[in-house]
Amino acid sequence: MPLNMLEACCDGTAAEHGELDAAVKYYARSVALDPAYVNGRMNLGKVYMQQKEYDAAVAQFDALAEARPNVTEAHWMAVKCLQAKWPTSAGKT
């Protein structure tokens, strides 16, 4: 199945409707077909974030940043995961 067809099958609606396991399945398949597929890897990382699977999310964002260094959102999303995993006490006295 071509990647654009696979993305169309999921097109983000699974994640939007709380069907996160289905979204993981589709996005993982797209990444398996093309490890440098930006939308698939980015969306897979975002779904993992929604599931609070921060290590899995960081792995996706790091892999994307390595494959496509110009995709700066991957770097920022990895940082957001780490912040969610290890919140700081900034602003607290």
Confidence of residue 19 (pLDDT cuts 50, 70, 90): confident
- Residue 50: name the closest of 36, 38, 60, 62 by CA: 60
Residue 8: which pLDDT band, with cuts at 50, 70 and 90?
A: very low
- Tell me the angle at which helices 20-33 and 3-10 cross, rounded to the nearest 10 degrees: 170
Say which residues have a Cβ less than 8 Å from residue 75's Cβ, sequence separation at least 6.
61, 65
Domains of the chain: 3-85 (1.25.40.10)
Mean pLDDT calculated for residue range 2-28: 67
Mean pLDDT of 34-61: 94
Dump pLDDT digits (tens) for 51-82: 999 999 999 999 999 999 999 999 999 999 99
**Which one, of 86, 14, 81, 75, lies nearest residue 46 by Cα?**
81
